[in-house]
Amino acid sequence: MNSKIAFSTYHISEHNPEHIQAIKSAIEAGVRLIDTSTNYMDGGAERAVAIAVNDLDDTLTCKLEIVSKFGYLQGAVLKRVKEDGENFKETVKYNEHVYHCIHPDFLKDQLSESLSRLHVDKIDCYLIHNPEYYFLDALNRDIEYVKAMDGMFERIYKAFVALELEVKAGRISSYGISSNSFSKAVNDIEFLPYEDLIIFAQNAAKEAENTEHSFTTVQLPVNILEQEGLKCASWAKENGLRVIVNRPLNAQKDNLMYRLADYDEPPEYYHHLNSILELLEDDSSKSIYNLIEQLDSSRHKFGWIGEYESFLYREIVPHLSKALHKLDDNTQEVLAQNLDAFLQQYKKMVAYECSKNTKIMLKNEFKNSNKRLQTSALEFLLQKNEIDYVSVGMRKPSYVADVINLV
């Protein structure tokens, strides 16, 4: 495996054995960096990493580096605030289900949680996760741009001091920032200026009475369609920082999202489609029958697979749950099993249709390549000297094998 490949745990859960095995397979294949966060699966990703690493021999894990992040209040952490009355200073509300905070008190709290979940005494690198949330919230509250930017940098500096103190205390080895705004154009209102971060780190180290700063890492989205972040990556390398790239295969162009991957047409799709429609011929299942027919006729209309996944949980699952609830128990059980099998095939079909559309829409970007989209997309990043690691989601051992074979 290319030494630049890192394992992203964005959708990894400790409750899924396949996820655990995927982490193990990646480490056994040579992955030496795990990219996780406090909010991934409400802490489940960090717990999954701990389970996987604990099952492996020290000879495989001794050189493994774990990078985690803090900043989001979701799930159990948000419950502590909304239901238990706990308060963290300088918290901003993104929406009803997501708050954000980088205050030193929250940092300490989340680092303690991460250490506990990961079963370690020290984390190799701890990142501030999207500090621009304060800035964007301030702009939404009509705070002047310069004042909002100053407020954000004041909070980043305080977090840097707290991180330097955690280095001093031995709970982390280094720190950095993971920011989507590093990848924005300079004239974009959401752009996060980064040129002064080294000075912030140097001053923070002095305040913490450390001999040198431990700001080592920036993480940002870059892919073959979104290359603006390479400017930040070049700056980082010139200043001795490490660059971790995320979102290598989920790209945005002209306000549309694309999954940069080829998918084959699932051969079992029509078998499962016909089977479920036969089971739904009874009048009592008419609404489900109509839904399945609508899905089949609309399988090519999703912009990218993420759009379908959102639609699945927002619209399809609630509709099916309500319809199934009206049926007797035996019918519910039979239909639920067959619907699950169909939806698995349907997702594969949507992915296939999306990949066809992607090839058409992006024919100019990939016109000189006969390789699969994911191969071209990853090779583009892996060949960049200013990039140290490309963080790739690999939720199954087969995905790990696919990436190994790609690069």
Q: Which amino acid is at 154?
A: E
DSSP annotation of 141: T
Per-residue pLDDT band for 340 (boundaries 50, 70, 90) equals very high
pTM score, whole prediction: 0.91
Domain ranges of the chain: 5-260+372-406, 269-361
369 pLDDT more than 90 = no
Average pLDDT for residues 312-338, to the nearest whole number? 91
Per-residue pLDDT band for 353 (boundaries 50, 70, 90) equals very high
Dihedral (CA of 114, 116, 119, 122) sign: positive
The CATH number for 5-260+372-406, chosen from 3.20.20.100, 3.20.20.80, 2.40.50.140, 3.65.10.10, is 3.20.20.100
Dihedral (CA of 161, 164, 170, 171) sign: positive
Residue 99 backbone dihedrals phi, psi, to 5 degrees: -115, 170
Give a three-class secondary structure readout of 279-343: HCCCHHHHHHHHHHHHHHHCCCCCCCHHHHHHHHHHHHHHHHHHHHHCCCHHHHHHHHHHHHHHH
Tokens of 310: 């959102």
Which pLDDT tens digit goes with each residue over 162-213?
A: 999 999 999 999 999 999 999 999 999 999 999 999 999 999 999 999 999 9
Please report where in the chains the tokens 């790239």 appear, as a residue.
Answer: 245
Average pLDDT for residues 377-389, to the nearest whole number? 95
Which pLDDT tens digit goes with each residue over 127-140?
A: 999 999 999 999 98
* pLDDT of res. 326: 87
Radius of gyration of the chain (CA): 23
Which pLDDT tens digit goes with each residue over 32-78?
A: 999 999 999 999 999 999 999 999 999 999 999 999 999 999 999 99
Tokens of 232: 């930040």
Which pLDDT tens digit goes with each residue over 277-309?
A: 999 988 888 999 999 999 999 999 998 998 999
